[in-house]
Amino acid sequence: MKAKEFYQKLTTQIYSNSGDRGKVYAEKIYRDSTRYTQYIKEIIGEILSNIKKPNKVEINFEYYRVDVFAWEKADDTFLPEKPSEQFKEQFWKPVAAIEHENDCNSWMDEVIKLSYLKVPLKVVIGYLPVNERSSDYKYINYVSKALSLLGYEELEDEEFLLIIGNAQTKDISKYFGYKPYLYNSKTRKFELRTNWN
At 80 the pLDDT is 84
Residue 196 belongs to a domain: no
Q: Nearest CA to 181 among 170, 197, 194?
A: 194
Please report whether residue 85 resides in a domain: no
Q: Which is more confident, 39 or 170?
A: 39
Looking at the domain assignment, is residue 166 inside a domain? yes
Least confident of 59-63, 86-90, 162-166: 86-90
Q: How far apart are the C-alpha atoms of 193 and 197, rounded to whole Å?
A: 9
Domain count across the chain: 1
Assess if residue 197 is contained within a domain. Answer: no
Answer yes or no: is 165 within a domain: yes
Provide the residue range defining the domain that includes 50: 3-74+90-178
Pairing of strands 92-100, 121-129: parallel
pLDDT in tens, 106-151: 999 999 999 999 999 999 999 999 888 888 999 999 999 999 999 9
Query: Does a structural domain hold residue 142?
Result: yes
Beta-sheet strands, E only, within 74-185: 92-100, 121-129, 159-167, 179-184
Has residue 46 been placed in a domain? yes
On whether residue 28 sits in a domain, the answer given is yes
